[in-house]
Amino acid sequence: MKNPVILALALLAQAPLSAEKKPATPAPGKEVIRIALPPTPTAFTQDLIVRGGMRTLGFMPTTLSAERPASVKQEPAYKGKPQYGFLSLGNREQNQVLIAVDDEASAVYLDSNQNGDLTDDPPVSWSWQSKGKPKEGEKKRFEGNWTVEATFDLGAKKTSRSPLAVTVWHEPGTDKFAARVYNVRMGRVQVQGKTYTALVSSASRTGTVNSDPEAAAARKEGTGVLWLDTNGDGTFMPMGIQKSWEMGRPVEFFGQWVKFESNADGSLVVARPAVAPPEAAFKPLPPKKAGDAAVDFQMLLPDGSKAKLSDYKGKYVVLDFWATWCGPCLAAMPKIEAHWKTLKHNPNLAFLGVCVADEKAAFDKWIKEKGPDYSFTIGYDPAGKEKLGKNLMYLYGVGGIPTTFLVDPNGVILASYLGLTPDNEKALLKLLADKGITGK
């Protein structure tokens, strides 16, 4: 690489860090980037996850019990018989947050300050929620959100108290209870003289910002992620522009290969020079556009069979690239299904949804849970996350998903759309209508 640029990120914080203890510095070594951001738990909303294409974390389950824990010192007046449980937040074994569930009162109490008193904590906002039309036998879910502080061990006898955003789930009348935890830090940083909105997020069920890929994989979790609003559109949605960098792996950041590391609470992120991975030698292919021949490929179907794009020769094909970890992709899927239901009576049309840059296990899990909701053909790119000239994102020159192509009966691309925006939907439907594919 010619003339490597040494990067410096300076904090333009939205809130002071004075309330926290000085964080421990990650492992020694030459630093090219250092970021310190204040905690911003309220910033991580479901809307931000969907618009930003952020990975949705799995729930951390716990089992409720009617037995009153010895740590309970004071309780509210319950309407019914309470059930108790604990949530593990942070990376300290003793950091257990007490919860008490009163189904009769449709209330849940949590010991946010962890002093054993369930009456002196901030109120929790709760609501009954049932998403979509309830399936047979499905019960309403009791969901709520709160912010609670967790203790993190930062090494060298240092600790930090950091607020976490927590979403919980409970099925009334049962002992089932689970939580989804987000550790979020947000602020303004400078990169090469330009200022961007930055966000550091965890991918751990306890809110720890892990930057060790092997340790994260062992727990079936992801590593922390650094996000930058690089085009200033107010979101973290990629839309063809890179806006996120995973920690613990070599990544190219503004022209330089580095590896981001973080301490446990995410209050300090540093990056050091890294060696580019082998796939970096593969230059990106230009994006496929109107007039280009669509690359033929083979995908794995949920039933174990295989299908090729060329199997649909003679038909117009709406080809959608998506992934289970992509929020905008998942938000677009119901729209694609709705259009398919309107147009599927046309014998000269096919809809293909191909899961790209993803793990087969994640695809199988999604198919089991969500597959029944969709009737158009959905498959998996067997190249997965492989970047050495094999996966479909590379072969089609796709820089962001969801990306949708319209392929004509001869295998020629008529149009491509990055993101299923309302304008892109209208353009796709109009082009189909021009080819005689309508809902009439």
Give me the architecture of the 298-434 domain, per CATH: 3-Layer(aba) Sandwich (3.40)
Mean pLDDT over residues 331-359, rounded?
95
CA–CA separation, 173 and 63 (whole Å): 13
Mapped onto helix, strand or coil, the DSSP state of residue 433 is: helix
Interstrand relation of 403-407 and 413-418 (parallel, antiparallel or unpaired): antiparallel
Span 132-136, average pLDDT: 52
Nearest to 142, CA basis, from 126, 122, 131: 126
Residue ranges covered by each domain of the chain: 11-55+184-279, 60-162, 298-434
CA distance 51 to 45: 10
Question: Contact, 152 vs 204, CB < 8 A?
Answer: no
Rounded to 5°, angle at Cα 6 from 398 and 228: 45
* Tokens coding 354: 């191909």
Nearest Cα residue to 205 out of 55, 85, 326, 64: 55
pLDDT tens figures, 266-289: 989 999 999 988 878 777 788 999
| Contacts for 325 with CB less than 8 Å, ≥ 6 apart | 53, 55, 56, 358, 362
Report the C-alpha gap between 428 and 406 in whole angstroms: 8
Task: For residues 145-151, give the mean pLDDT.
Answer: 81
In angstroms, the CA 307 to CA 301 distance is: 7
Question: How far is the C-alpha of 203 from the C-alpha of 74, rounded, in Å?
Answer: 34
- Antiparallel, parallel or unpaired: β 316-322 and 349-355: parallel
Contact in structure between 100 and 56 (CB atoms under 8 Å) = no
| 256 contacts 32 by C-beta, under 8 angstroms | yes
Q: Using the structure block, give the residue that is written with the tokens 């931000």.
A: 48
Structure tokens given for 383: 């190249």
Report the pLDDT value the prediction gives residue 129, as an integer from 0 to 100: 47
Record the pTM: 0.68
Which tokens sit at 164? 């976490």
Residue 127 pLDDT level (bands cut at 50, 70, 90) = low
310-321 pLDDT, tens digit each: 999 999 999 999
The answer on pLDDT for 23 being more than 60 is no
| Percentage of the residues of the chain whose pLDDT score is greater than 70 | 83
Is residue 171 within 8 Å of 101, Cβ to Cβ? Answer: no
Q: How many helices (H) and strands (E) does the chain have?
A: 6, 24
pLDDT in tens, 31-87: 777 888 888 876 666 556 655 556 656 678 888 999 999 999 999 999 999 999 998
Please give the pLDDT value at position 435. 94
pLDDT at 255: 87
- Taking residue 84's Cβ as centre, other Cβ atoms within 10 Å add up to 20
How far apart are alpha carbons 21 and 27 in whole angstroms?
18
